[in-house]
Amino acid sequence: MATVDPDLPIRQAAIERARQLAQAYDDLVPVEILRQGFVFHEQHVSFGSFQKGIHRARVQRGAAALTLMTSLRDPYADAYGDAGFAYAYRAGPIDQADNRALRAAYELQTPLVYFRGIGPGQYLVVAPMFVTADDPATRTVRLEPGLPVQDMQPGGLVSPPEIRAYATREARYRLHQQRFKLDVMRAYRHRCAICALRERALVQAAHIVPDADPAGVAAVVNGLALCAIHHLAFDRNLLGIDPGGVVHIANRLLHEIDGPMLKAGLQGFHGEQIAVPRSPGDRPDPMRLEQRFEIFRRAAA
Ligand SMILES: [Zn+2]
In tens, the pLDDT along 248-284 reads: 999 999 989 999 999 999 999 999 999 999 999 999 9
Which among 68-77, 109-118, 206-215 has the top mean pLDDT? Answer: 109-118
The mean-pLDDT minimum among 56-60, 227-231, 297-301 falls in 297-301
Distance CA 54, CA 114 (A): 10
Q: Determine the distance separating the centroid of ligand 1 and the alpha carbon of 174, expressed in angstroms.
A: 25
Distance 217 CA to ligand 1 centre (A): 23
Strand 67-70 and strand 112-119: the pairing is: parallel
Ligand 1 centroid distance, CA of 226 (Å): 5
State in Å: Cα 260 to ligand 1 middle. Answer: 14
User: Looking at 12-26, 71-85, 98-112, which range is the least confident one?
Assistant: 71-85
232 Cα–ligand 1 center, Å: 10
Q: Give me the chain's average pLDDT, please.
A: 90
Q: Tell me the average pLDDT across 225-248.
A: 97
Answer whether residue 31 shows pLDDT above 60.
yes
Supply the pTM of this predicted model. Answer: 0.80
CA–centroid distance, 294 to ligand 1, in Å, is 21
CA of 202 to the centre of ligand 1 (A): 9
Digit-coded pLDDT (tens) for 53-75: 999 999 999 999 999 999 887 65
> Tell me, what's the pLDDT at 160?
79
What's residue 89's pLDDT?
95
What is the CA(238)–ligand 1 centre distance, in A?
13
Residue extents of the structural domains in the chain: 8-182, 190-300
Burial 270-297 (b: 16+ CB within 10 A, else e): eeeebbebeeeebbbbeebbebbbeebe
Compute the distance from residue 231 Cα to the ligand 1 centre, in Å.
7
- pLDDT tens digit string along 169-183? 889 889 888 989 999
User: Taking Cα atoms as reference points, which of 236, 221, 226, 181 lies closest to residue 199?
Assistant: 226
Interval between CA 182 and ligand 1 midpoint (Å): 18
